[in-house]
Amino acid sequence: MARVYRFNQLGGPDVLQLEELKLAPPGPHEVRLRIHAIGLNRADVMFRRGTYVLQARFPSRLGYEASGTVTDIGTGVTNFRVGDEVSVLPPDDPGVYGTYADEMNIPADSLIHKPPTLSFEAAAASWMQYLTAWGGVMHACRLQRDQYVVITAAVSSVGIAALEIALHAGAIPIAVTRKSDRHDVLRKMGIRHIIVSDGPGLCTEIEKITGANGLDCAFDAVGGPFLAELAAAMKPFGRIIIHGYLSNEITSFPVQTAIRKSLTVEGYFFAEILRSRTLRNDASGFLLEGMITGKLNVMIDRIFRFEEMPEAHRYMESENRSGKVVVIV
């Protein structure tokens, strides 16, 4: 039997129910994983509420990240052995392969070996935000050394990951946040350019930093009035990559600015990185090197116990976080 969190209706944290489910032997190309730690993401909260890009089918599991130890393997698995320590890469459908469990069967292709220098907590809290950030900043934005990149929602886990990756790539990141009290977090990371903004006036602040060079790209999690402001600050042929819609305001497309400057405005979803073997290998190579050398350091905000999952979700919905929330099993 495995202990698994599922939910049967959309709603708040109290819809999460801890159940005991019979766990069959791993099927072909699957492994059985004993989970030690689970990384929580804003996507988990949105999936539970019904506001995410994917919709739950009840009864639904949830959860994108975890780390643990392989305890059994199915036929056809050649790259993992019993006893291997691994991280779970975000699955296509968290309703089917959700990681909120103490044990689960999962396709071997969804796993990556855990570097011995990473704790289980860090290994469970790395891949969702770093894959999202790498795909947006390095792949979609095509960021180059010495280019300016704006990263909105900068103190979120994805925002922090994107800032780290931009620094690692030799670019010049500009952090945009609504939270003036989190500047110490960003300064400790080595971020020199920080803007506090809700949208209006953002273009002027960006231009003070970029000067005649102009803004090369933006990795935006907000939408709403930010999009027009980012477009106005862009240099010709700049790229705006939208990966979220945190704003409650309507996002209007700045068509005249986009035409005049030949801008690219592109929606982005992390799954495109995992669906491509080439992109997955490029991303994992870059990220593992950064994690092993210490250039990428997952920031864990708070740790909860497995039995405290609803409480962990309530904390996820607060505005007081800087970094990841982790649940230990």
- Per residue in 189-245, pLDDT (tens digit) is 899 999 998 767 899 999 999 998 899 999 999 998 889 999 999 999 999 999 988
pLDDT at 14: 96
Residues 261, 173, single domain; the answer is: yes
Confirm whether 285 is domain-assigned: no
pLDDT at 103 over 70: yes
Residues 107, 201, single domain; the answer is: no
Residues 203, 239, single domain; the answer is: yes
pLDDT at 295 over 90: no
Q: Quick one: three-class SS letters along the chain?
A: CEEEEEECCCCCHHHCEEEEECCCCCCCCEEEEEEEEEEECHHHHHHHHCCCCCCCCCCECCCCCEEEEEEEECCCCCCCCCCCEEEECCCCCHHHHCCCECEEEEEHHHEEECCCCCCHHHHHCCHHHHHHHHHHHHHHCCCCCCCEEEECCCCCHHHHHHHHHHHHCCCEEEEEECCHHHHHHHHHCCCCEEEECCCCCHHHHHHHHHHHHCEEEEEECCCCCHHHHHHHHEEEEEEEEECCCCCCCCCCCCHHHHHHHCCEEEECCCHHHHCCHHHHHHHHHHHHHHHHHCCCCCCEEEEEEHHHHHHHHHHHCCCCCCCEEEEEC
As a whole number, the mean pLDDT across the chain is 93
Residues 137, 254, single domain; the answer is: yes
Residues 120, 82, single domain; the answer is: yes
Q: What's the structural domain count of the chain?
A: 2
pLDDT at 320 over 90: no
Confirm whether 279 is domain-assigned: no
Residues 63, 172, single domain; the answer is: no
pLDDT in tens, 241-276: 999 888 888 888 999 999 999 999 999 988 899 899
Domain hosting 311: range is 2-126+298-328
Rounded to an integer, the average pLDDT of 44-53 is 94
Residues 101, 200, single domain; the answer is: no
Amino acid, res. 67: S
* CATH number of the domain residue 221 falls in: 3.40.50.720
Q: What percent of the chain has pLDDT over 70?
A: 98
pLDDT at 199: 66
* CATH number of the domain residue 47 falls in: 3.90.180.10
Confirm whether 109 is domain-assigned: yes
pLDDT at 77 over 90: yes
pLDDT at 181: 66
